[in-house]
Structure 1
Amino acid sequence: MSVLNVSNLSHSYGGREIFEDVSFKLNRGEHVALVGANGEGKSTFLAIITGQLSPDAGKVEWARRVKVGYLDQHAVLKPGMTIRDTLRTAFDDMVKAEKEMLEAYDKMESASPEEMDKLMKDVGEIQDMLEAGSYYTIDSRIEEVAGGLGLRDIGLDRKVDELSGGQRTKVLLTKLLLENPEILLLDEPTNYLDAEHIEWLKGYLTNYENAFILVSHDVPFLNAVTNVIYHVDNFHLDRYTGSYERFEEMVALKRRQEDAAYERQQAEIKKEQDFIARNKARVATRGMANSRQKRLDKMEVLTKRQEKPKPHFNFKSDRTPSRFVIEAKRLVLGYDSALTNPVDVTVERGKKIAIRGTNGLGKSTLLKTLLGMIPAISGKIELGEFVTAGYFEQESAAGNDNTALDELWQEYPGMTNFEVRAALASCGLTNEHITTKMMALSGGEAAKVRLCKIMQKPVNLLVLDEPTNHLDVEAKKELQRALQEYKGTILLVSHEPEFYEGWVDSVWNIESWSTKIV
């Protein structure tokens, strides 16, 4: 039985076609992956089915009395509230029901027998609902889910105003899971989770009895938790079952068949046109030529698939620096208080180092501190001679009104218009992307612009903070190739071991430095 039916959906944005006569069905208990290249419309689809956007045409029909929970990374948390208070709002309906139950008990003191029967029935129904929802174990549930997603490491009594974008997303995801909706809609939930918390979420979703739709580019995660794939491609949605690898095989087969059908039809059209051109002037064969022309006019002509531009990443190497690129002695990381014990850090020229560890322990802080962007609590940091760094920050600046073109041009005013456009195009961005404001680009498209900025200058040290967040599968593979071929030094923070395993020289686990118990 389906809980969601989407029929004949069409939608465009800013003159750009996104969906054309699309149909979609979500059955009870299905675990659906919504996949596709950056900018194909996955987040737009979620916005349409949740009513945040109205489609140009088509119907979106949910089953009656179904509770839908949506992880919207742009949702606003109420300032002044602690993480714990925010998470408790997941149970507002039950708090309200308990208040109604207590008021019913008060009314029983003066109720007539008829009123008493009704009040007893109401109280019983509310009590059953509260017990079914584990209302009396709210605090332990909050501790369990918050711990599973790493919020206890941040501190449940911390104000939400003080949180980073990634930490806010964690709070929203934890609150959503505590609400326990019948349908979950999750837009890239693993982006701000480390490997340990991704494993916890993987177990949670694998055992989730209800249906969900998941947007993600994390292939191992998708394989573990989903059993249906909908592919957003060229304005359409196609349904597949099986693993992600099986889906890729089926897509490749379908494209080969479409290409072959197109080539066959083009050959047939050319043959018919040649016959018509040779015979339409001759009286004896004019009738046959006209007949073939009518048949040609009625033919439904296939269109050649528009290939999406593929990204090509290339990081330029600068002059050779001294043997030790970074040396830090007795380094203590933190802001107002220490996050780590004193540690010695040495980064040798040409080494490629991945940094992992539970969120909230200072991975991003470490990168910024080593680059001198923020001060250390204590200790001494020395950069080697001739070190030039390229830094990729985890989060885009909010509310950026620059177009992608402006963003690159402001950084490199000496480049010509042609050079800027060519550089952005090489990263897989179309002319439409290039002239779109940064804040209107998808997360993956914006990440490609930021990577493009780094690639325009020679550097001998790449410092990358979660560069694979938001990138589609193809872009991730290309970035992996480019980093493997890069001749300089790399410091990489990533929550995806499968991205860096096999080509980095060492992995630092920052948990061993922490002052926190993990």
Structure 2
Amino acid sequence: MLSVEKVNHDFGGRIILSDVSFRLKKGEHVALVGPNGEGKSTFLRIITNKLMPDEGVIKWSPKAKVGYLDQHAELQKGCSIREVLKDAFKEDFQLEETMIQIYDEMANFTEEEMTAKLEEAADIQTKLDHSGFYVIDSKIEEVANGLGLGDIGLDKDVSELSGGQRTKVLLVKLLLQRPTILLLDEPTNFLDENHIEWLKRYLEEYENSFILISHDIPFVNSVASVIYHIENGEFTRYTGNYDDFIRMYEIKKRQAEQAFEKQQKEIDKLEDFIARNKARVATRGMANSRQKKLDKMEKVEKIREKPIPKFNFRYGRASGKTIFETKDMVLGYNEPLTSPLNMILERGQRVAIKGVNGLGKSTLLKTLLGIIKPYSGKVILGDYLEIGYFEQESNPDNVKTAIDEIWEEYPVLTNYEVRQSLAKCGLTNEHITSQMKVLSGGEAAKVRLCKLMLRDINVLVLDEPTNHLDVIAKNELKKAIKEFKGTLIIVSHEPEFYRDVINEVWNLEDWTTKII
């Protein structure tokens, strides 16, 4: 279905992809995995012609109908969700128009034309029957409800949607198009548990090919049968799921380390012999022979280890006993989203907020923090609060470098201190001097986490902190959250991430005024 040969791509002097080869067979379920910033999304953009590689050949099968989840696609104001989803069947509607036109013009056909046109109309009818054209509305309802769009309302204007809801619409439209190849970049980032489960079942049963980028390991384990690991610009193919890949990768890594150590010992012996014998006439010949052997030796490269981020949230002074209290607080903008809420969060509580997308989890956080006003009622914040707030997404057009992003908030820090803080979060010199908008989602998240780590806090508020983070970064973040001594509020669609770091769950589904 797809063949990629010797693709190279540099960005700003940094090698992203090096001599990459890749193949996708019919019906294969492939996951691209690897640390943040290794070029996974870049690879998808190259194979869809959204980005030109420096070198290499990309060949798609003529039968390939490619569907790409492009989170930057425009949705036209004035269109309802239902209208956007119906556009997935544009080709079928065009076929129906052609068929109707044939029947409308029948009176004008000759007998010879009539036979040919009736055959054409019959072929179209067969195609439409086979594609399920006459049950389009129920198809739309089924997939839209599976991914939670029914909760929002299919007649809602797409211009009123949040970023996460917009991505859901694009994903549902893509699934309805049923391409022969699906390209999915972090599809679970804006889905809650129920909808991740639905998408997992859908992809498990998907008879066509897909290429998936995801750091959600249980999800990848369930849906992928081939893993391509991207590291240091190179792709390595493994058969099996993520757990199978990890086993094989560890064996391969140990073998490479042993081969390197063995060769280093041999090189040391040869160099020692040459140094001791090249000056003596009697042994100079043997020394030269050893030198030739050394010169011809194909060197085994030492494995380049990626920097492991170390997160640490500095605990400030103790807050007052009450973090916040709400009095008949109702969430909402133009209309109420919840019933009146009377709740108290006390010092030391560690809470996860859950609920299907579109119910207002991020709105709840911003209302509690005083960033936006409640629809009605009030929020009373406690005393001595030092809040560290991690927002779900950063500005996609931010032209500041990572180092400037930190400096703007902490102007008293030296250049060395800023660089050291960013390096601690697993960012290299190339990342530190790059504009925020060109960093991968995971790299940008690490910069935002770095900001939080540079000040004393006693309340940590995290809105989907694991979106975009690779497996190692997620594990390190979880350790830091466990070690943090203050109050915690976390919104996450990954229960396996937050389950053992919290002691209470608030389910927004219990408070909403929406029908779910």
CA distance in 1, matches of 2:493, 2:414: 37
Letter in 2 for 1:25: R
Gaps of 5+ in 1: none
Distance change in 2, residues 1:398/1:56 (3 Å): closer
Deviation at 1:469, TM superposition (A): 0.4
CA distance in 2, matches of 1:203, 1:89: 24
Deviation at 1:335, TM superposition (A): 0.6
1:90 maps to which of 82, 88, 91: 88
Deviation at 1:302, TM superposition (A): 1.7
Q: Which moved more, 1:412-421 or 1:151-160?
A: 151-160
Q: Which moved more, 1:9-18 or 1:38-47?
A: 9-18
Partner of 2:329: 331
Alignment of 1:346-425 (within 5 A): 346-425=344-423
CA distance in 1, matches of 2:119, 2:405: 64
Partner of 2:184: 186
Letter in 2 for 1:451: L
TM-score by length of 2: 0.98
Q: Deviations over 1:104-154 (max 9, x none)?
A: 112221111221121112111211111121111111111111111111222
Partner of 1:119: 117
| Partner SS state of residue 282, structure 2 | coil
CA distance in 1, matches of 2:19, 2:241: 26
Partner of 1:290: 288
CA distance in 1, matches of 2:318, 2:25: 58
Partner of 1:513: 511
Do residues 232 (structure 1) and 234 (structure 2) align?
no
Partner of 1:487: 485
> How well do the aligned residues superpose, as a CA RMSD in angstroms?
1.2
CA distance in 1, matches of 2:373, 2:52: 48
| Partner SS state of residue 342, structure 2 | strand
Do residues 475 (structure 1) and 473 (structure 2) align?
yes
Partner of 1:207: 205
2:304 maps to which of 303, 306, 330: 306
Do residues 432 (structure 1) and 433 (structure 2) align?
no
Partner of 1:278: 276
CA distance in 2, matches of 1:271, 1:76: 64
| Partner SS state of residue 462, structure 1 | strand
| Partner SS state of residue 343, structure 1 | coil
Letter in 2 for 1:211: S
Partner of 1:48: 46
Alignment of 1:120-199 (within 5 A): 120-199=118-197
Gaps of 5+ in 2: none
CA distance in 2, matches of 1:398, 1:243: 32
CA distance in 2, matches of 1:296, 1:517: 74
Deviation at 1:195, TM superposition (A): 0.5
TM-score by length of 1: 0.98
CA distance in 1, matches of 2:187, 2:55: 29
| Partner SS state of residue 367, structure 2 | helix
CA distance in 2, matches of 1:403, 1:19: 22
For the Cα contact (< 8 Å) 1:12–1:19, is it kept in 2? yes
Deviation at 1:322, TM superposition (A): 1.4
Deviation at 1:284, TM superposition (A): 2.3
Deviation at 1:278, TM superposition (A): 2.0
Deviation at 1:502, TM superposition (A): 2.0
Q: Which moved more, 1:373-382 or 1:52-61?
A: 52-61
For the Cα contact (< 8 Å) 1:165–1:395, is it kept in 2? no
Alignment of 1:242-257 (within 5 A): 242-257=240-255
CA distance in 2, matches of 1:81, 1:45: 32
Deviation at 1:287, TM superposition (A): 2.0
CA distance in 2, matches of 1:388, 1:155: 39
Deviation at 1:410, TM superposition (A): 0.3
Q: Which moved more, 1:201-210 or 1:79-88?
A: 79-88
Partner of 1:449: 447
For the Cα contact (< 8 Å) 1:361–1:511, is it kept in 2? yes
Q: Deviations over 1:163-210 (max 9, x none)?
A: 222111111101100111011010000000000111111111111111
Deviation at 1:279, TM superposition (A): 2.0
Deviation at 1:417, TM superposition (A): 0.8
For the Cα contact (< 8 Å) 1:339–1:516, is it kept in 2? yes
Deviation at 1:285, TM superposition (A): 2.1
Q: Which moved more, 1:317-326 or 1:272-281?
A: 272-281
Number of residues of Structure 1 aligned to a counterpart in Structure 2: 516
Q: Deviations over 1:447-476 (max 9, x none)?
A: 010111111111111111101000001111
Partner of 1:461: 459
Q: Which moved more, 1:117-126 or 1:205-214?
A: 117-126
Alignment of 1:71-82 (within 5 A): 71-82=69-80
Deviation at 1:321, TM superposition (A): 1.1
Partner of 1:31: 29
CA distance in 1, matches of 2:247, 2:63: 38
**% identity of equivalent residues:** 60
Deviation at 1:513, TM superposition (A): 0.1
Q: Deviations over 1:16-73 (max 9, x none)?
A: 1122222211111111111000000100111111122222222211111210101111
Partner of 1:344: 342
CA distance in 2, matches of 1:492, 1:381: 19
